[in-house]
């Protein structure tokens, strides 16, 4: 292999590694909060059907409260730390005070889209489902400081 070809191959490999090890700053979800709530509904349905040992967890209770909240009464903060992995921090504002929780979300929809694209399948229903990556990329704005009360994150 000639030097130029080897360099091109190495650069392509580095681009793949960088995209897989993607990290970002924090962003706040500023629109499409209803779509975010739909993602939370699916997540909660999964945990209702497959309850973990300590069910319902405090995070599950928080997400249930989030679903009962008006879209103007909560804030969602997102930070991508892998190709499909996100840290999510939420804040619900109510008359009784503020409620906070944080969790890690693995975007299985985005992962499945990538798998379908690699197989050359571009008309699969997975492309019609809104995922957290869509919201992070198109409905969130960067923030300068860490979100409030982000717990372990």
Distance (Å, whole) CA 43 – CA 38 = 9
H or E element that contains 51:
none
User: How do the pLDDT tens digits run along the chain, 153 residues long?
Assistant: 333 333 333 333 333 333 445 678 999 999 999 999 999 999 999 999 999 889 999 999 999 999 999 999 999 999 999 999 999 999 999 998 999 999 999 999 999 999 999 999 999 999 999 999 999 999 999 998 888 766 554
Please, is 113 exposed, middle or buried when counting C-beta atoms within 10 Å of its C-beta (0-12, 13-18, 19+)? buried
Q: Are strands 74-80 and 140-142 parallel, antiparallel or unpaired?
A: unpaired
Taking alpha carbons only, the member of 44, 37, 73 closest to residue 61 is 44
Please give the pLDDT value at position 148: 74
Domain boundaries, the chain: 22-142
């Amino acid at each position: 292999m000639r030097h130029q070809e080897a360099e091109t191959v190495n650069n392509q490999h580095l681009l793949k590694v960088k995209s897989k090890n993607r990290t970002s700053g924090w962003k706040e979800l500023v629109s499409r909060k209803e779509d975010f709530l739909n993602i939370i509904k699916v997540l909660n349905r999964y945990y209702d059907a497959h309850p973990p040992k300590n069910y319902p967890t405090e995070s599950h209770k928080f997400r249930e409260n989030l679903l009962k909240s008006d879209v103007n009464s909560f804030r969602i903060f997102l930070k991508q730390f892998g190709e499909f992995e996100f840290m999510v921090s939420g804040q619900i504002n109510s008359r009784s005070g503020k409620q906070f929780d944080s969790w890690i979300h693995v975007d299985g929809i985005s992962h499945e889209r990538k798998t379908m694209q690699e197989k050359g399948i571009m008309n699969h229903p997975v492309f019609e489902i809104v995922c957290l990556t869509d919201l992070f990329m198109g409905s969130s704005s960067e923030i300068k400081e860490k979100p409030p009360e982000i717990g372990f994150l």
